[in-house]
Chains A and B, each alone.
Chain A
Amino acid sequence: DAGVTQSPTHLIKTRGQQVTLRCSPISGHKSVSWYQQVLGQGPQFIFQYYEKEERGRGNFPDRFSARQFPNYSSELNVNALLLGDSALYLCASSLGTGGWRGNQPQHFGDGTRLSIL
C-alpha cells in the first residue's frame, strides 16, 4: 500500500512569494496534519484537518493556511515567504477516529524541503 505522498520534493522560492505544498494520505486515513521541521529540532505542529474540517492550529502566523479536500488530500499554503520559512514541511496522516484515542499513530510522508532565497 502507498504511504503518505507529498509533492513537490524540493522547492526554491524567493522572499515574498507564495507556495502550495500537497499531501495525499494513506488510503483510509481521514486525518492529515502538517508540521514544520527546521534543522536540529523536532517537528512543530502547524495544522490538523479531520473530515475536511480544521481541528487544530499551531502557533504559526496567518500567512500559513491549509485545506482538506473530499478525497482527504490536503494542501498547505504559505504566503509572503520569509527566510525563516526555510524548513522541511512534513505531512502526516492517521485514522483519526475521534475521542482521546483519536490520536491514532501518525505516519509521515517524505516531506517537502522548502528553501527561501
Chain B
Amino acid sequence: QKEVEQNSGPLSVPEGAIASLNCTYSDRGSQSFFWYRQYSGKSPELIMFIYSNGDKEDGRFTAQLNKASQYVSLLIRDSQPSDSATYLCAVNIAAGGTSYGKLTFGQGTILTVHP
C-alpha cells in the first residue's frame, strides 16, 4: 500500500462544475495535510492546508479531512479552465515525530476543466 494515494484520474469536468479530488493516507499518526497545484512545467503551488477534522474553506476551494477514515479531499467549486493542472496531495507522515519537515506526496491527479 502506498503511503499517500490519490484518485488516479485524469479528471475532466465542465466549466462551472464542482471538481472533487480525493486522497487517502496510510499513517494514522499523520497530522498535517496539504494540497498543491502544479501547472505543466512549473513547481508546486500551495493552495490549501488543513490540520483538524472537518472542512476548511478558502474562496472556491474546500479541503475536507476525516482522520478516522484517513481521507482528505479537495473540492473546487465553479471550476474554471485556469484550474486545469495537476493537483498533489501531501501528508506529513509522523515517523516518530522526528520528520516533521518531510512531506510525502501522492502521484497527483490531472484535472482538466473544459469550456
Interface residues of A (CB under 8 A from B): 31, 33, 35, 40-45, 48, 50, 55-56, 58, 88, 90, 92, 94, 96, 99-103, 105-111
| A56 and B101 within 8 A (CB) | yes
Q: Is the CB of B45 within 8 A of A108?
A: yes
Per the bound structure, the CA–CA distance linking A110 and B44 in Å amounts to 8
Supply 6 further A-B pairs (C-beta < 8 A) apart from A40-B107, A100-B97.
A43-B88, A55-B100, A105-B49, A106-B46, A106-B101, A109-B43
State the Cβ distance, B1 to closest chain A Cβ, in Å: 16
Chain A CB count within 10 A is highest, among B36, B51, B106, for B36
Specify which of B44, B90, B99 is in contact with A56 (CB 8 Å cutoff): B99
Find out whether the CB atom of A58 lies under 8 angstroms from the CB atom of B42.
Answer: no
Contact across chains for A111 and B43 when beta carbons are under 8 A apart? yes
**Secondary structure class of chain B's binding surface, majority of residues:** loop
Q: Number of residues in B with C-beta < 8 Å to the partner?
A: 28
Would you call A90 and B101 a contact (CB within 8 A)? Answer: no
Say how far A117's CB is from chain B's closest CB, in angstroms: 20
Contact A48 B99, CB 8 Å, known A42-B88, A42-B105: yes
B92 contacts partner chain A, Cβ-Cβ < 8 Å: yes
Q: What 0/1 readout, one digit per residue, does chain B (8-22) give for beta carbons within 8 Å of chain A?
A: 000000000000000
Once the chains bind, are B31 and A31 in contact (CB under 8 Å)? no
- When the two chains form their complex, are residues A103 and B31 in contact, meaning their CB atoms are under 8 A apart? yes
